[in-house]
């Protein structure tokens, strides 16, 4: 079978053999919400020479602005509910392929929350971790905090951390302070970067709130206590510190639980550092869990 | 004398007679940090036909990126310290004029904080209010919260509320949700706007932090519980709610003090509403206090 994790910024395709092992992997820089009207064409260009019939899709490809809208499945839900809600998406443009798309998940408590793609990674992780209570953080443009209990996802909370970081680095008075070509994030491995990232983390715990702390970043540069070319590292620590402090579930904070992190290595370094500063142990997992999750859902629905 | 409040986005000039009354007033849309090398020219175009010798300046015109950098005066300080630190800025480009620029003020506690221009408005207000403890909020792109004791400014805290609001309305995933031409802020007087602004205020008190609440705004639209054209009003309530909750000094919260607001009418409506929701009484004052503050400083230094 072929597993396709198709998010906002890129498409990742995995070829999976009968034992569930990934035998090949490809990427395309075409986001699911940016290639309207060309989804079949983009998919054919990426996997056209893989002759497997079954193609499992997850991610923003199933959103209102993606290819086919697949309604959300509400929390709490696990592999049973998600497998039952898989939606067939066959199209004459891709003859001989059986296409199935995974629904996103919604949490209707509070203001409401949702995710598309992350649920598939989390399901694969839960299969490995076994029963019990688990907390998973998937850092990114929109960081997801997911709580699970006995294999079912029970809550979702999203923070716009990565997006706010990008907005501040690209527009407005903080962006104007940063010299062109200065370091990008707090995830570089140099000691100066790490030191400034930690300072941002530390300052995020002070009184006054995020909107005040952002001006504090400006004041640091104005008063020459922070080199302007390190402002991004400081902001990264400040924002991730705010996110972790606000969204880390109480069960992890007080119960000595491990927080599971899924994402790219550089970003996980930063989050593991922020969590360690709060005394929380972490375990890291690759985004390739999406392939395992799609394979799991296909088996559960007897598609493969 | 002539009083000039020259900030980041505009210049406001007041002609003041010997009794301290404003007899004429002009504006120019030339910000102090945007007209480098042309300050004398812009000033002459605005006040050239007013033949007073003394020209008092305050605001970003005295910043590193303004006309002449005037070093900050540190907190605590009042009219004595600020009058003593006035800096002569005469230039051959404006013959016959005696130019004096008011320093900004810095608060070196914590990450540090600073203001330029607001100190002059606050001094004029303190002159009216008399001795005792007072709290002043000056909402804007960078909102200032100032505490004063017996005529001296003792602390400054800034929130980047207006700037973050603008960034979110103009760039990124929230901006994409707003239809072109939709209502701008939560300060409109219509009841639908006010209702949505209040909902943002209310939601700002929930758990999860600002970065999570911003995604909540998106979720509200996604789940059809908020019309996309009202998203700006919701964001305005959410951000102002966060600012007020984080920066409102404990003395006001618990001591039944009045919070004094200085700024334009629409913005003050929104802040008064947010403070009222926290049970805080407010009193509103016009930005024209800058003219009174400049006049006060000139008299104190025996310049007029």
Task: Give the pLDDT confidence of A73-106 residue by residue, as tens digits.
Answer: 999 999 999 999 999 999 999 999 999 999 999 9
Query: Any CB–CB contact under 8 A between B228 and chain A?
Result: no
Distance between A303 CA and the closest CA of chain B, angstroms: 31
The minimal CB distance from B203 to the residues A111, A209, A214 is found for A111
Instruction: Give the best residue of A166, A170, A196, A211 to mutate against chain B (max B CB count within 10 A).
Output: A211
Full strand arrangement of the beta sheet holding B105-107: B73-74, B105-107, B113-115
Distance between A179 CA and the closest CA of chain B, angstroms: 15
Per-residue pLDDT for chain B (304 aa), expressed as one digit of tens each? 999 999 998 999 999 999 999 999 999 999 999 998 999 999 999 999 999 999 999 999 999 889 999 999 999 999 999 999 999 999 999 999 999 999 999 999 988 999 999 999 999 999 999 999 999 999 999 999 999 999 999 999 999 999 999 999 999 999 999 877 655 444 445 788 899 999 999 999 999 999 999 999 999 998 889 999 999 999 999 999 999 999 998 778 888 899 999 999 989 999 999 999 989 999 999 999 999 999 999 999 999 8
How large a percentage of chain A has pLDDT more than 70?
97
Encoded tokens for B201? 């205020």
Instruction: Give the best residue of B155, B211, B222 to mutate against chain A (max A CB count within 10 A).
Output: B211
Query: Any CB–CB contact under 8 A between B171 and chain A?
Result: yes
CA distance A219 to A235: 13
Q: What is the mean pLDDT of chain A?
A: 93
Query: Any CB–CB contact under 8 A between A250 and chain B?
Result: no
- Among B80, B28, B88, B81, smallest CA distance to B62 is for B88
The minimal CB distance from A157 to the residues B158, B173, B208 is found for B208
Interface list for A 183-222 with B (CB within 8 A): 203, 206-220, 222
Query: Any CB–CB contact under 8 A between A116 and chain B?
Result: no
Query: Any CB–CB contact under 8 A between A128 and chain B?
Result: no
List strand residue ranges (DSSP E) for chain A, in order.
2-6, 11-16, 22-28, 54-58, 73-74, 87-88, 98-101, 105-107, 113-115, 133-138, 143-149, 152-159, 259-262, 282-285
Which chain B residues contact residue A208 at CB under 8 A? 110, 157, 159, 246-247
Query: Any CB–CB contact under 8 A between B124 and chain A?
Result: no
Q: Give the angle B197-B161-B149 at the CA atoms, nearest 5°.
A: 105
- What is the predicted ipTM? 0.93
Contact A212 B163 (CB under 8 A): no
The minimal CB distance from A216 to the residues B106, B111, B164 is found for B111
Q: Sort strands A152-159 and A143-149 into parallel, antiparallel or unpaired.
A: antiparallel
pLDDT of residue A186: 42
Answer whether B94's CB lies under 8 Å from B44's CB: yes
Contact B210 A210 (CB under 8 A): yes
Query: Any CB–CB contact under 8 A between B142 and chain A?
Result: yes
Which chain B residues contact residue A112 at CB under 8 A? 216, 219-220, 222-223, 225
Whether pLDDT at A242 is above 90: yes
Compute CA distances A232 → A174, A285, B232, whole Å: 9, 26, 27
Which chain B residues contact residue A211 at CB under 8 A? 159-161, 164, 210, 239, 242-243, 246
Q: What are phi and psi of A258, to 5 degrees?
A: -90, 135
Query: Any CB–CB contact under 8 A between A9 and chain B?
Result: no
R_g over Cα of chain A:
20
Confidence of residue A181 (pLDDT cuts 50, 70, 90): low
The minimal CB distance from B219 to the residues A113, A209, A239 is found for A113
The minimal CB distance from A158 to the residues B112, B215, B239 is found for B215
Average pLDDT over residues A50-64: 96
CA distance A163 to B208: 17
pLDDT of residue B189: 53
pLDDT of residue B191: 82
Task: Give the pLDDT confidence of A21-48 residue by residue, as tens digits.
Answer: 999 999 999 999 999 899 999 999 999 9
pLDDT of residue A253: 81
């Amino acid at each position: 079978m072929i597993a396709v994790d198709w998010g906002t910024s890129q498409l990742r395709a995995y070829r999976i053999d009968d034992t569930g092992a990934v035998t090949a992997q490809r990427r395309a820089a075409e986001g699911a919400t940016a290639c309207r009207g060309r989804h079949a064409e983009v998919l054919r260009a990426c996997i056209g020479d893989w002759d497997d019939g079954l193609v499992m899709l997850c991610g923003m490809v199933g959103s209102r602005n993606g290819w086919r809208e697949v309604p959300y499945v509400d929390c709490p839900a696990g592999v049973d509910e998600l497998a039952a809600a898989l939606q067939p998406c066959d199209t004459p443009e891709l003859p001989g392929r059986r296409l199935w798309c995974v629904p996103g998940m919604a949490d209707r408590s509070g203001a409401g929350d949702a995710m598309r793609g992350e649920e598939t990674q989390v399901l694969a992780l839960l299969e490995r971790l076994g029963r019990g209570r688990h907390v998973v953080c998937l850092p990114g443009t929109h960081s997801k905090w997911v709580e699970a209990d006995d294999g079912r996802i029970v809550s979702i909370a999203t923070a716009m951390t990565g997006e706010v970081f990008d907005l501040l680095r690209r527009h407005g008075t903080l962006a104007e302070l940063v010299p062109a070509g200065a370091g990008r994030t707090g995830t570089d491995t140099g000691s100066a970067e790490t030191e400034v990232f930690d300072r941002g983390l530390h300052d995020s715990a002070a009184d006054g709130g995020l909107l005040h702390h952002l001006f504090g970043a400006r004041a640091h540069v104005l008063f020459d206590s922070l080199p302007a070319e390190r402002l991004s590292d400081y902001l990264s620590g400040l924002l991730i510190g705010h996110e972790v402090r606000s969204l880390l579930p109480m069960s992890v904070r007080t119960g000595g639980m491990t927080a599971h992190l899924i994402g790219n290595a550089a970003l996980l370094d930063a989050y593991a550092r922020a969590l360690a500063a709060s005394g929380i142990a972490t375990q890291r997992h690759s985004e390739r869990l999406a392939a395992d999750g799609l394979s799991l859902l296909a088996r559960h629905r007897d598609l493969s």
